[in-house]
Structure 1
Amino acid sequence: MITGWIMRPRENLPPRETHALEQVRLACPDITNTRDLACAFAVLVRHRRGHLLGEWIRQAEGCDLRSIRSFASFLRQGIDAVTAGLTLSYSSSVVEGHVCRIKLLQRTMYGLASFTLLRARILTPP
């Protein structure tokens, strides 16, 4: 419930939920910084603003919460790939879907059939 309040844009929250979020923020000051960082990251992802990722990582590394700092350092390790994912319109999701289907077929047929049958099932459209 609180996660939904944090991730939704403030203008989309009904007045009752806005008030409840303010109560949570007063009770736990870390929520304010966490919400700001989470919303900023969501904007980066939704609007493909990979060029702003470095600045977001610097802000997150200065956060008091260890989990956010850890996430930021994880992103920094693969910053080129993450920036490309947030910037380019290309996607490997179709390929990943085929790989997942092939792995599922392999698991279900393990030890039960020959490679020829597995090959036939992979090449047959789903």
Structure 2
Amino acid sequence: MSQNPDQIDAQARLFLGHLFAQAPELAVAAELAKRFVSLLSGSDIAGLDEWITQAGNSELESLANGIARDIDAVRAAITTSWTTSPVEGQINRIKAIKRQRYGRASYPLLRRHVLLSA
């Protein structure tokens, strides 16, 4: 359901056709999910309020309510290019070192190992 319809094979397309015929609300939810992904990947937030309204009347009501509660953060996430990926990478690196050395040495030695490996 998340792939472009042109990129899936005929059997999967047929299956999705039958699935959506049996559960039309699933077809609506799939379309709303695709629109939400396109909203997140772009910097245009004009359609976000409309999406929340439409999703609030579908199977994605809980998601829409959660987004509406924290709308300022969602708008900021869409419009800014700021990311925490470098920080998360450093945290993962330090946790890996900590797991390797668990129970083998004291904090000062762990600190030295982390600083030397940077």
Which band: TM-score by shorter chain? 0.7 to 0.9
Residues 80 and 103 from structure 1, CA distance in 2 versus in 1: closer, same or farther, beyond 3 angstroms?
Answer: farther
Structure with the larger helix share: 1
Q: Residue in 2 aligned with 1:3?
A: none
Measured after TM superposition, the shift of residue 53 of structure 1 is 2.3
For 1:26, the aligned partner's letter is A
- Are positions 1:49 and 2:44 aligned together? yes
Q: Aligned partners of 2:110 and 2:67: how far apart in 1? A: 38
Question: Where does residue 54 of structure 2 map in the other structure?
Answer: 59
Aligned residues between the structures: 118
Answer whether contact 1:51 1:83 (CA < 8 A) is retained: no
TM-score normalised by length of structure 1: 0.77
Distance across 2 between alignment mates of 1:88 and 1:46: 11
Question: Displacement of 1:55 after TM fit?
Answer: 2.2
RMSD: 2.1
Q: What is the deviation of 1:111?
A: 4.2
- C-alpha distance in structure 2 between counterparts of 1:85 and 1:122, whole Å: 31
Relative to structure 1, is the Cα distance of residues 108 and 79 closer, same or farther in structure 2, using a 3 angstrom cutoff?
farther
C-alpha distance in 2 between matches for 1:60 and 1:115: 50
| Equivalent residue in structure 1 for 2:76, among 84, 91, 95 | 84
Q: Deviations over 1:8-67 (max 9, x none)?
A: 12233333332221111112222111111111112112334334322222211111x2xx
Task: Output the TM-score relative to the length of structure 2.
Answer: 0.81
Cα distance between partner residues in 2 of 1:7 and 1:75: 20
**Unmatched 5+ stretches in structure 1:** 1-5
Q: Relative to structure 2, which stretch is displaced further, 73-82 or 93-102?
A: 73-82
Unaligned runs of 5+ in 2: none
Percent pairwise identity: 31
The aligned amino acid for 2:50 is: E
Matched AA of 2:105: A
Q: d(CA) in 2 for partners of 1:32 and 1:71? A: 16
1:100 and 2:95 aligned: no
